[in-house]
Structures are given as structure tokens and as C-alpha cells.
Amino acid sequence: MINSFSLQGRKALVTGSNTGLGQAIAAGLAAAGAEVICAARRSPDETLDLIGRAGGKASGMQLDFKDPMAARDIFVGRDIDILVNNAGIIRRADAVDFTEEDWDAVVDVNLKALFFTTQAFAKELLAKERSGNVVNIASLLSFQGGIRVPSYTAAKHGVAGLTKLLANEWAAKGINVNAVAPGYIETNNTEALRADAARNKAILDRIPANRWGRPEDIAGAVVFLSSPAANYVHGAVLNVDGGWLAR
């Protein structure tokens, strides 16, 4: 019986894979059999060690999306057929105080770089008439407004929209484009929220699963959307949020 969740013989590139969600996603793809390129602006050595100790195959790449076009040439000749757009940043301030610098920084990394990286990936696949998978990391703020994160909210709404647009254009050409929208996950970025007793309780009170998500919860969804099991899934934004949006 064929394992439709296997990624054996596939090669994946995961952006922002040195820590947190990106690290878990890279490890999850490797565990499913993919060879993984761990791309990040800082060294992904910890991720490479994690994958290596588990018997997986991975290599590192420096990629800094302060230049949104940084990935324009990286797919040529590498035979990558899975792209996970995970890299992202966030800036917080009241809307009336939000600066143009913070707006541009977040939109450049979280939306512009995502689009042009995906464009470069698809150009290579289409030129060789090969199939592939794109998994974008969206957010609960692809659906909700949030507070004090205007550029992040705008960018993540954009990620959901681009996921659908690119799926419409490429589904018939063998390229699956989907997204995962994480809920509240135990990472360095949420450490302050979890340490605030009142805020932590308010969050948990809304999550039907009654726990914070773990990075591997997101990794499993990405593996699915990268696998043959998701061959007929196009343009989906999969909420992995413990039921948050169902409340």
C-alpha cells in the first residue's frame, strides 16, 4: 500500500527555519522523508543538528528578506519541489503611532518577499513542467483584526488572498498552493503572553482544546499539505488553532 503522506524523494525549502515554527516544520518534513534546505537570516545549525540526529537529510542556506527579492535566483538548478514560506516578523504599536518604517519592514518580509519567492519557485517548476507544493504560513490575523499590529494584520490577510490567487492560476499546472493559519503556539514569540497570568487565562478560556499549540502541531499540517494526500487541495487556508476560530 502506497503511503500517501510520504515525502520520500522530495526536496523542500523552508524559510525562517532556524527556530520555532520553522524549525519544527523543517524537522517534520525531514521525518516524512524529504531532503530539507533550512533557509534563515541567522545560522540554522540547531535545526540541522536536530534533523541529523533523527536520521534526516538537511542543509543550510542564508536568506535575509530585508531584501524582498533575496530568493530570486535560489531555485535554479536545485530541483526543489516543496516551498514553505514561514519567514516573518512583527512590529507592535497603536495604529495612530505606527511608523512607515515599521509598516514597510513587516510588509516587505511577510508579503512582498513571500510573493516573489513563490514566483521564482513557480517559474522554475513551470519551465521544467514539474509539479510542486507551496505552503504559506498565514495566521489567525488572516481572518481577524487583532490590535496594535496593523502591518502584520494587513500582510497576513494578503497571504490568505495570494494563496487563493496563486492556486487559481497554478492548480491546473500541477502546483498546489495552500496555507496553514496557526493559532496561539508555544514559541519564543509568545513567551511574554504565556508569562502574563491574566492574558494566558484569557487566551486559554477561548481555546476549546484548552491548551496552547505546539510547533509540531503546525508541522503535521504542513507535511499533509506537501504530500500526495493533499493532491486535490488547492487554495485552502487550514486553521490549526485548537478551535479558536470556531468560538
Task: Please report, for residues 107, 111, 114, 147, 161, the alpha-carbon distance to residue 158 in angstroms, rounded to integers and kept in the order given.
Answer: 9, 7, 10, 17, 5
| Dist CA 114 CA 136 (whole Å) | 8
Tell me which of 75, 121, 152, 212 is the catalytic residue.
Answer: 152
Q: What is the mean pLDDT of the chain?
A: 96
| Dist CA 198 CA 241 (whole Å) | 20
**pLDDT tens string 58-72:** 999 999 999 999 999
* pLDDT beneath 50: ranges in the chain: none
What is residue 96's predicted lDDT score, i.e. its pLDDT? Answer: 98
What is residue 188's predicted lDDT score, i.e. its pLDDT? Answer: 83
**pLDDT tens string 174-215:** 999 999 999 999 998 788 889 999 999 999 999 999 999 999
Tell me the domains of the chain and their CATH numbers.
11-246 (3.40.50.720)
What is residue 191's predicted lDDT score, i.e. its pLDDT? Answer: 87
What is residue 80's predicted lDDT score, i.e. its pLDDT? Answer: 98
What is residue 138's predicted lDDT score, i.e. its pLDDT? Answer: 98
Sign of the torsion angle spanned by Cα atoms 189, 190, 193, 199:
positive
152 is catalytic: yes
What is residue 4's predicted lDDT score, i.e. its pLDDT? Answer: 95
What is residue 193's predicted lDDT score, i.e. its pLDDT? Answer: 85
List CB contacts of 85: < 8 A, sequence separation 6 or more.
15, 114, 117, 118, 134, 135, 136, 137, 159
